[in-house]
């Protein structure tokens, strides 16, 4: 199996997709596929559950979540980790005026790992730095930090892309079209940064003019010599794509009282577009969707988003084994 370099420092926290390189991504993809094979038997699942039965995790999610929360919770259950949760800061001592730093330091007194989602950009980095200076420097996993980053979503997107495009030779050299709110969509920002690791990738960013990518991402892609284009020509972009990554408009970040924006239907993928797409094109979406992705597409073999959702749980299992230093215990001999 591919393995990360023996000189690689152990993974301490998962804060940003910028921390991952190609050997790590290849290793995670292979490890995830290996771990899924344990799901084939009762013995396999019982074995996985025994691995981290001595560990406790806190799921601190103060922004709405369905998939990320449940897939992390399920990943914890699969590995035997006991998971506690806070899903609303108003039920914690933050309501009594406690700072978010003190709340998170408190969790670190009781658990071995904190998985957190918050509307505050870069809060995870701040908390990780703070905890690293305490006697209980528990690992932090960023499960979404405002409009900034969502690194574990990007990892599961890479897994889904590499599985979906494997008959086409993998992600390298492919044209990936990202559509929708590219300005505030954290999944786009984190995934685009991971795609830097795949030589020859071309990214087509198709968005309404108000939702183009932010300057920091543009600068990172330029510095890494990634071939990318920003366009409003949705139909020609999707026709050229080997994979399409749809996203919803992130209006929770609209300024208070802002008038809800225009009609973005020119950036909706409908069943009527299917004949224009490549036969092998993979259609992804981090979900939840609104009307940008027609449910009539769900039956098309190119629709990969429901698999992508399930993949997320297994990628998170794999990531937890690496983070807890037990990935050597989930290798299986080649069949």
Tell the smallest beta-carbon distance from residue 120 to ligand NCD (Å): 14
Active site residue 68: yes
Q: Which residues pair with 83 in a beta bridge?
A: 57
Q: Among residues 13, 55, 117, 183, which one is catalytic?
A: 117
Q: Residues 270-289: x/- map of binding to ligand NCD (CB under 6 A)?
A: ----------------xx--
Alpha-carbon gap, residue 124 to 142, rounded angstroms: 6
Q: Does 144 bind ligand NCD (CB under 6 A)?
A: yes
- Token pair 């008959």 in the structure block, residue: 167
Alpha-carbon gap, residue 26 to 163, rounded angstroms: 12
Q: Does 150 bind ligand NCD (CB under 6 A)?
A: yes
**Exposure b/e, 83-109, CB count within 10 A at least 16 = b:** beebeebeebebeeeeebeebbbebbe
Contact pick of 22, 36, 56, 67 for ligand NCD (by CB under 6 A): 67
Looking at residue 313, the DSSP 8-state letter turns out to be: H
Active site residue 67: yes
The DSSP secondary structure of 102-165, one letter per residue, reads HHHHHHHHH-SEEEEEESSTTHHHHHHHHHHTSS----EEEEEETTTB-HHHHHHHHHHHHHHT
- Token pair 């408190």 in the structure block, residue: 106
Tell the smallest beta-carbon distance from residue 110 to ligand NCD (Å): 26
Q: Among residues 32, 55, 62, 68, which one is catalytic?
A: 68
Measured from the CB atom, the residue of 111 and 313 that comes closer to ligand NCD is 313
Contact pick of 55, 163, 186, 212 for ligand NCD (by CB under 6 A): 186
The DSSP secondary structure of 224-244, one letter per residue, reads TT-EEEEES-HHHHHHH-SEE
Q: Does 139 bind ligand NCD (CB under 6 A)?
A: no
Active site residue 150: yes
Q: Does 113 bind ligand NCD (CB under 6 A)?
A: no
Contact pick of 160, 187, 207, 311 for ligand NCD (by CB under 6 A): 187
Q: Does 310 bind ligand NCD (CB under 6 A)?
A: no
Active site residues: 67-68, 96, 117, 150
The binding site for ligand NCD (CB under 6 A) comprises 67-68, 144, 150, 153, 186-187, 247-248, 286-287
């Amino acid at each position: 199996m591919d393995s990360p370099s023996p000189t690689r420092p152990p993974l301490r926290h998962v804060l940003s997709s910028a921390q991952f390189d190609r050997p790590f991504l290849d290793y995670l993809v292979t490890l995830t596929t290996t771990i899924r094979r344990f799901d084939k038997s009762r013995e396999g699942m019982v074995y996985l559950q025994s691995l981290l039965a001595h560990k406790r995790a806190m799921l601190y999610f103060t922004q709405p979540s369905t998939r990320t929360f449940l897939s992390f919770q399920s990943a914890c259950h699969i590995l035997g980790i006991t998971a506690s949760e806070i899903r609303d800061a108003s039920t914690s001592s933050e309501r009594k005026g406690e700072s978010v730093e003190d709340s998170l330091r408190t969790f670190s007194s009781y658990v071995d790992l904190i998985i957190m989602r918050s509307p505050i950009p870069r809060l995870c980095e701040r908390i990780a730095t703070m905890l690293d200076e305490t006697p209980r420097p528990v690992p932090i996993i960023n499960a979404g930090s405002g409009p900034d980053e969502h690194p574990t979503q990007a990892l599961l997107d890479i897994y889904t892309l590499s599985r979906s495009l494997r008959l086409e030779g993998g992600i390298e050299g492919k044209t990936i079209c990202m559509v929708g709110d590219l300005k505030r969509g954290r999944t786009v920002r984190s995934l685009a940064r991971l795609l830097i690791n795949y030589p020859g990738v071309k990214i087509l960013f198709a968005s309404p003019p108000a939702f183009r990518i932010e300057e920091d991402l543009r600068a990172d892609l330029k510095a890494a010599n990634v071939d990318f284009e920003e366009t409003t020509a949705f139909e020609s972009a999707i026709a050229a794509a080997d994979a399409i990554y749809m996203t919803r408009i992130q209006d929770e970040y609209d300024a208070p009282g802002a008038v809800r924006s225009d009609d973005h239907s020119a950036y909706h993928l409908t069943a009527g577009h299917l004949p224009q797409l490549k036969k092998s094109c993979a259609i992804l979406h981090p979900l939840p969707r609104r009307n940008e992705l027609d449910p009539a597409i769900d039956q098309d073999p190119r629709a990969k988003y429901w698999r992508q959702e399930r993949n997320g749980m297994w990628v998170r299992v794999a990531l937890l084994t690496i983070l807890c230093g037990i990935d050597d215990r989930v290798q299986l001999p080649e069949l």
